[in-house]
Chain A
Amino acid sequence: MPANPSSEPRNAFVAVSPDEFFVQQIAEHQDRLFGYVFSLVGDYSRASDVVQETNLVLWRKKSQFQIDQPFLPWAFAIARFQVLAHVRDRGRDRCLLDAELVEQLAQTVQQQSEQLDSVRVALRQCIEKLSPASQDLIRRRYYRSTSINDMADSLDMGVSAVKVGLLRIRRRLAECVEARMASDEMIGAE
């Protein structure tokens, strides 16, 4: 990760203490950690809780962290333990993923989380291309976490119509994001 932005006066950062560096790493990777945890937990507020617990554990274990070691894989490993603890505490009934699936998915989730920034860039462009009505559905459901029932009520639509609409838009977005990311990779390879 870029640790020394050249556009800033360097002297302000000459003596970054290990704590400062650590805080900076955690801040830098918040979204990726969220992506990682959310993918396994599947609920916004629960995932936020687990990320916060992970932050605390990271902070507590900061002495174990070697400054020359890559931060993210280490943080993901700790996040995985936190997710597993969460799944265990809640009992299988209430969590979609059991421990077995969490372990099975961890590798893929980690790879995907590392790409989260480019997913977001692509996503933003793809959402722009949607019709205003489709954009509105996405914003309500995912930006503001409005439940499908409330959406149906306020848009005067049937619940199943909202579901079908979301499903259709999600498919279109997935295709678009994938296509954009593929073309970006090609540009990068040139």
Chain B
Amino acid sequence: MTDSNLAESLKELEKLLIEAEDGQIDEVGYERIRELMKSSPIVRDHFVKWRMMSAAMHLEGSSGAGFGSGFSTSAPAVDHSFSVSDRSDRRKLDVTGKWRMLLAIAATGLIMLMAGQWLARWSDVARVQPPVMGDDPGADVEATSEGIALVTRLVAAKWNQSTDKFAVGDALSPGRLRIDSGFAQIEFFCGATVVLEGPAELEMQSSTMARFRSGRLRAQVPPAARGFQILVDDLKVVDLGTEFGISLSPDSADVQVFDGEVELHSPSEDKMRLLAGERMTRSIDGVVDRSPSTPEQFVDIERLDAQAEGQAEFRRNRWQKFSESLRRDDRVIAYYAMDDDQVWNRKLQSSVLPANPDLDGAIVGAARVDGRWPGKSAIEFKRPGDRVRVDIPGEFGSLTMAVWVKIDSLDRSYNSLFLTDNYERGRPHWQILDTGQLFFSVRVSDDRVKTEHREVTSPPFWKPSMSGQWLHLATTHDVKARTTTHYLNGELLSREVVSENQVVTPTRIGKASIGNWSSPTKPDAKFAIRNLNGSIDEFILCADALSDDEIRQIYENGKP
């Protein structure tokens, strides 16, 4: 091996090790590392040094709190003032500390065993609960927030441009927010709630401030959010804990206070106070007029609530009707509408008609929660054991899987939507990668044949800001056209042609899990734990590849 070859090998090894340590490597990558290591003792040395450094860093991170803290004080506490000259003193301290501690524990080796078991359990917990972003009080740098406000409600909202569109649950970053008609309720992180009535434009500036460009808004500012500001032209409306409205047209600005008081700052005039029931109008030529307020002109949260309820009811009825037709569709081989079960019921009733109780699912661990509509249930998957077990007999060709899902976060390398227990020839696996890509595969080989299947992944569709939103995901697998197609919210994400030898018929399901993968007994927990962190409301499995239009209909008729 030449020197330059060797240098290349070492670089390649380091890159692969970064990924291997992160669990983001497949068998091909592993094989490559082994190859590299077998090629030269220098590579092996390099590998060991790398690993030793990782070990040292892990120990640094856990000294005091994690590994070994049960009884070992041999990990010196992190001490930034540590210098070579005081090392010998330090060493003495460590050793005396150790002796003192040993006095306490050495009397019985049992404690040692208990500590061992406790640590083993602790590391299990650590493994199945990866650290949650921003959840670490010891973080030097806190996770940056995804935005400054949240969209919490939309009623009959319409947009002129699709690029303006936003959805309930969206985290809003600084920038312009436009709505053409309808209402949007925005909750600023400071605690202020704004109802925007279209057509309107609001420029989000921070969690406590926005510039209002046009339209009508009503703001409700609880005491905790006092100081919330809306900028209007050269006016600054500072809220002192109240409820107020602003209407802005090309030729006048109208500020009204319904409750509490606001301060108006403008460069040309003294600070002005508006009290409850007062209204200030300023025309384009600067004429200021004061008059009583007219709160009925501004939709408040309560009325918005009533309108939203009306909308929700309408949509729920629409879905119900559509769902009825799905239940009788011959192509539907399994359907869980999740709408007619009691909260305590651990059976997930099959919705296929005529009824077939054999298709009922069993809810394990997972909780029933509210689904897309209040009173409509969904299944929430949180813990590694949570799942819905189903057994779907039969042999099929093309397949369609569709689901309404609310993803809280993608914690696992593979986040399960629907996985057959065994991954044998003809069995499909449908999941989401932690990169936010939808993943579908049908196993091609059996255990003896080495031609591996090729999964079809969509481009990444998931952003953490979508957390908590109901999304519609669908994938069709067409064995005739040899295509696999992924959809998000009724729209095509990607379509890929699958090579002929990658198409397997028949496809089979058999025993399977919704929201998880049933191999908890596998020793390799990293591979076995694939539970979804989120909720599923409605799952459809069809023995046919539905068309683009049919997928869109499922979305349109099911959106909350």
A101 at interface by CB-CB < 8 Å: yes
List of A residues within 8 angstroms of B144 by Cβ: 154-156
A28, A109, A156: the one contacting B98 at CB < 8 Å is A28
- Taken together as a complex, chains A and B put the C-alpha atoms of A130 and B464 apart, in Å, by 30
List of B residues within 8 angstroms of A93 by Cβ: 27
Given contacts A13-B99, A116-B55, A174-B50, contact A125 B82 (CB under 8 A): yes
Q: Quick check: B60 and A31 within 8 Å, CB to CB?
A: no
A52 at interface by CB-CB < 8 Å: yes
- Contact sample, A vs B, 16 pairs, CB 8 Å cutoff: A8-B96, A12-B103, A27-B73, A29-B74, A30-B74, A35-B55, A96-B33, A113-B52, A123-B56, A145-B61, A147-B22, A147-B434, A153-B133, A163-B18, A163-B19, A171-B14
List of A residues within 8 angstroms of B510 by Cβ: none
Q: Quick check: B50 and A120 within 8 Å, CB to CB?
A: no
List of A residues within 8 angstroms of B57 by Cβ: 123, 138, 142-143
Q: Most A CB atoms within 10 A — which of B71, B105, B116?
A: B116
- Taken together as a complex, chains A and B put the C-alpha atoms of A139 and B58 apart, in Å, by 9
CB within 8 Å of B: which of A112-157? 112-113, 116, 119-121, 123-125, 127-128, 132, 135-136, 138-140, 142-150, 153-156
Known: A147-B22, A147-B23, A153-B143. 10 other contacts (CB 8 A): A12-B103, A20-B107, A30-B75, A42-B21, A52-B123, A59-B109, A140-B139, A149-B24, A154-B144, A177-B53
CB within 8 Å of A: which of B510-556? 523-524, 526-527
- Taken together as a complex, chains A and B put the C-alpha atoms of A35 and B524 apart, in Å, by 21
CB within 8 Å of A: which of B424-469? 434-435, 464
Q: Quick check: A112 and B92 within 8 Å, CB to CB?
A: no
A161 at interface by CB-CB < 8 Å: no
Q: Quick check: B38 and A173 within 8 Å, CB to CB?
A: no
Closest 3 CB pairs of A and B: A143-B61, A20-B106, A142-B57
List of B residues within 8 angstroms of A149 by Cβ: 22, 24, 410, 434-435
B→A interface (CB under 8 Å): 14-15, 18-24, 27, 30, 33-34, 37-38, 44-45, 47-62, 67-68, 71-76, 78-80, 82, 84, 87, 92, 95-96, 98-103, 105-109, 112-113, 116-117, 119-120, 123-124, 126-127, 130-131, 133-134, 136, 138-141, 143-144, 410, 434-435, 464, 523-524, 526-527
Interface of B is mostly: helix
List of B residues within 8 angstroms of A128 by Cβ: 80
A55, A124, A156: the one contacting B112 at CB < 8 Å is A55
Interface of A is mostly: helix
CB within 8 Å of B: which of A1-58? 2, 5, 7-8, 12-13, 16-17, 19-20, 22-24, 26-31, 34-35, 38-40, 42-49, 52-53, 55-56
